[in-house]
Structure 1
Amino acid sequence: MLKLLGAILILGSTTSAGFRTARHFADRPRQIRQVRHALSLLETEITYGARRLDDVCEQIASREKGPVRELFHRCSEHLRNRDGISTFSCWELAVEEVWPQTSMQSSEREILLDFGKTLGVSDREDQLQHLARVQANLQVEEAQARDEQSRYEKMCKSLGILGGALIVLLMY
């Protein structure tokens, strides 16, 4: 009976690890898509609106979910609460605080940090050009993430189950 319980625990834990890893591959393209959507909302606000950046970030946060929501919410908080600090510093702080919660990789992080360097620094046309560049870069990353998802998601699930089964067989 104890052996059966041990086998079930081993199989359950390796299966859980495999499914958690697979979820990471599935979450990455979804989160990149959310960031792209949030940036398109920002682009619309820059084009047609005249509100402060902290208000825009809070509005974007209210429309998004998960880590992307948290990113824009924290940026809005930093813009409101930290007098004398640059917009880039607020954006960078928000990215650094939220990044461990995301499934995105360092390439997306660098794209977002590069975007933050230009946020609120130049005129409307220049901002729109930077947003278009960021959107294009994120679109490439999203395509790569979808490719990795299709390649590795099933494999991780299978390896979790089969790895657990192999360990159980070798132990007994």
Structure 2
Amino acid sequence: MLLRLLGAGAVFCAGAAIGWQLAQPLRRRPEELRSLAAGLALLETEIAYGATPLPAALERAASAGPPAAALYGRAAALCRQGRLPSEALEEALAELYANSSLTAADRQALSLLARVLGASDRADQARHLRLCRERLAAAEAQAEAERQRHERVYRQLGLAAGAAAAILLL
């Protein structure tokens, strides 16, 4: 009987853990978008007002937080290796996308920016950075609404499935 109770407890905990794991991307995505948008704001300031060279501006944008540091820091390193800024940002974005909670629409917004980064004058780049930031802000608002609607559902569903499986074991 004790072994059955331990097994049921383990199954319940596993169900709860699965629910929490499913809710994690919903919780991380708004934070990641916020960090990337903050990095874009820093990048825009460095380019438009500081007239900072792009690799240095990307390094400063990397100070915005964890996902921004990975994206802009990697892009800066690739630029310093002689890669074009558009190629560098696109490659860094591909690396970030594989390990993040970003959606295809989020990636597309950043990819559109990557195509024009470093290819025009400061004013045009600032305009594209502002546009990308607005897209990320809209995506963040949508992600936050989605998180509020679905995060709790996933956690509760994991708990309920774990409880149901535990009851069936007993």
The two structures have a TM-score, normalised by structure 2, of 0.94
Aligned twin of 1:77: 77
Deviations 1:118-160 (A, max 9, x none): 1010001111111121122112111110110110011011011
CA deviations over 1:26-49 (Å, ceiling 9, x no partner)? 111111111111100011111211
CA distance in 2, matches of 1:64, 1:10: 40
For 1:146, the equivalent position in structure 2 comes to 144
Count of residues in Structure 1 that have an aligned counterpart in Structure 2: 169
Match of 2:156 among 149, 154, 158: 158
Counterparts of 1:49-88 in structure 2, within 5 Å, are: 49-61=50-62, 63-81=63-81, 83=82, 85-88=83-86
Whole-angstrom CA distance in 2 between matches of 1:41 and 1:160 = 40
Partner of 1:26: 27
Where structure 1 has 5 or more consecutive residues not aligned to the other structure, the ranges are none
1:128 to 121, 126, 129: 126
Secondary structure at the counterpart of residue 133 of structure 2: helix
CA distance in 1, matches of 2:167, 2:161: 10
CA distance in 2, matches of 1:15, 1:139: 32
Q: Please, which moves more after superposition, 48-57 or 152-161?
A: 48-57
Q: In the alignment, residue 153 of structure 1 is paired with which amino acid?
A: E
Amino acid at match of 2:95: E
Computed over aligned residues only, the root mean square deviation of the Cα atoms, in angstroms, reads: 1.3
State the TM-score, normalized to the length of structure 1: 0.93
Structure 1 consecutive aligned stretches of length 4 or more whose deviation exceeds 4 Å: none
Structure 2: state its 5+ residue gaps.
none
SS in 2 for 1:22: helix
Structure 2 letter corresponding to 1:65: G
Q: Which residue of 1 aligns with 2:96?
A: 98
Partners of 1:19 and 1:156 within 8 A in 2? yes
